[in-house]
Structure 1
Amino acid sequence: MASTPRRPVNPMEAAEALFKPAKKQAAPAVERRSPPKVKEMVSIKLDSDVLEHFQNDGPGWQERINDALRAVVDAQKGE
């Protein structure tokens, strides 16, 4: 049974085999935090009556919810 040798016999092939480009490993994922005061899209579950309260005044209900939550955060910081 004739098979090719595992190591190259030709010195030129041996040298080329040593310098074959290595496969690059993927860099680990880096968690990047968003800058402060930037709004992020989130999914949140709210009671239907709470959602209805904020939606009754029409468009801008998401900003009104954000303003209400901001008031709670600011009040707790002031304590």
Structure 2
Amino acid sequence: MSEKPTTVRFSLSEIQARRARGEDQTRPDAPEAEPLGEDFWKQARVVVPSGKTSVHLRLDTDILDWFKAQGRGHLTRMNAVLRAYVDAHRRSP
């Protein structure tokens, strides 16, 4: 049985310090995300995923192209968008 890779987490100040020292592995041309704002953080909650399921999914080409154009991690971002949609609808009456 293979072991899961270790996840390393850094605080924002640690990330900023690593960038200042040139230790950041982020591509120099990586886009900055828009600030999420205070309202987002007031409602944000940590969700520990229960696991992933592999699926075959047919998408509109322009949708996939847009996510891929955002850089590495496009499938993770697509999952996050779906998660936000589901969570929003679960909270709706």
Question: TM-score, normalised to structure 1's length?
Answer: 0.53
Write the deviation string for residues 6-59 of structure 1: whole angstroms up to 9, x where unpaired: xxxxxxxxxxxxxxxxxxxxxxxxxxxxxx710111100000000011101111
**Take 1:51 and 1:37, find their aligned partners in 2: how far apart are those partners?**
25
Aligned counterpart, 2:81: 68
Larger Rg: 1
Q: Name the residue aligned to 2:54.
A: 41
Deviation at 1:76, TM superposition (A): 0.4
Is the partner of 1:54 in helix, strand or coil?
helix
Letter in 2 for 1:48: T
Question: Which segments of 5 or more consecutive residues in structure 2 lack a partner in the other structure?
Answer: 1-48
2:90 equivalent in structure 1 = 77
1:1-79 maps to which residues of 2 (within 5 A)?
Answer: 37-79=50-92
Amino acid at match of 2:50: K
Q: Percent identity?
A: 41
Equivalent residue pairs, number: 44
| Displaced runs of 4 or more, over 6 A | none
TM-score by length of 2: 0.45
- Relative contact order (C-alpha < 8 Å, sep 6+): which is higher? 2
| Partner Cα distance (1:75, 1:57) in 2 | 24
Gaps of 5+ in 1: 1-35
Corresponding residue for 2:23? none
